[in-house]
Structure 1
């Protein structure tokens, strides 16, 4: 049986703080850093927030467009929020990422729409680190790989 798979619907780069995300058709993932040209890749190399992956269904449920939640990769066809920390995914032909923890909504979401912090709880996507770099393109496939048994298991915070 094939492993569940999805499709990359959008690739986004965070630019300067407070500016909109920039949509790109192709991004270069760098091992231990994130996407080339994304401001988060410079902040904390080898940190747990190199990329933010978001389920397209969450965007639709929240009535948002790609980039509004500051995600780097929008994926259709995989229930990202249901996957465990340590889950590894292949993005396209070369890139491998490992989920580190769910992204906790913050008060900045209230600037997009009052009530969005509460609405987005449990649908904010997953933070990930890049294990293997390479080029990834909009439309590329996404496959579930193995789960790192040694990955820390984060405590899922409760809604404030």
Structure 2
């Protein structure tokens, strides 16, 4: 099967998990309409406290459903939306994509991947041991973050469960994802 959206979510308040909807609307340069993280500048509380004028590079959080299956195999009960993602994907290795990859979501929307989600302490408050389960180490000892990717909205549109995802890699040399 080709890459597609499994589920979409949003939350109008700062809560860890997001509620599932049949569709969400992405707004260009802002994020998910009605979501607490929607805006041109940073909306995550810790980042607002540091500098509220920073650009919002975390408008949309995408998470691969394959991570949820791996977490389940480790004994964690995590459903789509539980980790706070807006878009749960299937059949796409989000973590292997380079920075600036464009994802065409459904018929109209386009997002550009800005980097990796850096999991915070809230993940262990949601479920003890989950932080360790979404982190790993490479053979060289580098930290591997598996909690999805962050993106900005280039072109808005309605995004629904089961919509296809088209991947457009950036031209030129590819830059590996880093936390944003």
**TM-score calculated relative to the size of structure 2:** 0.77
Aligned match of 1:55 in 38, 58, 64?
64
- Cα separation, 2, equivalents of 1:52 and 1:19: 12
Shift in Å, 1:149: 5.2
- Cα separation, 1, equivalents of 2:17 and 2:58: 18
More strand by share: 1
1:101 and 2:115 are equivalent in the alignment: yes
Which whole-Å deviations, capped at 9, do the CAs of 1:4-30 have from their partners, x for residues lacking one? 941111100022123641211111110
- Cα separation, 1, equivalents of 2:103 and 2:16: 29
1:143 and 2:166 are equivalent in the alignment: yes
1:116 and 2:116 are equivalent in the alignment: no
Q: CA RMSD in A?
A: 2.4
- Cα separation, 2, equivalents of 1:87 and 1:43: 20
1:84 and 2:98 are equivalent in the alignment: yes
Where do 5+ consecutive residues of structure 1 fail to align? none
Residue in 2 that maps onto 1:14? 11
Shift in Å, 1:147: 1.4
- Cα separation, 1, equivalents of 2:128 and 2:38: 29
When the two structures are aligned, how many residues end up with a matched partner?
Answer: 154
Shift in Å, 1:151: 8.8
Shift in Å, 1:153: 5.8
- Cα separation, 2, equivalents of 1:55 and 1:19: 17
SS at structure 2 position matched to 1:62: helix
- Cα separation, 2, equivalents of 1:155 and 1:28: 27
| Alpha-carbon distance change, 148 to 27 in structure 1, aligned in 2, over 3 angstroms | farther
| Alpha-carbon distance change, 155 to 15 in structure 1, aligned in 2, over 3 angstroms | same
SS at structure 1 position matched to 2:88: strand
Residue in 1 that maps onto 2:83? 69
**TM-score calculated relative to the size of structure 1:** 0.86
Shift in Å, 1:82: 1.1
SS at structure 2 position matched to 1:59: helix
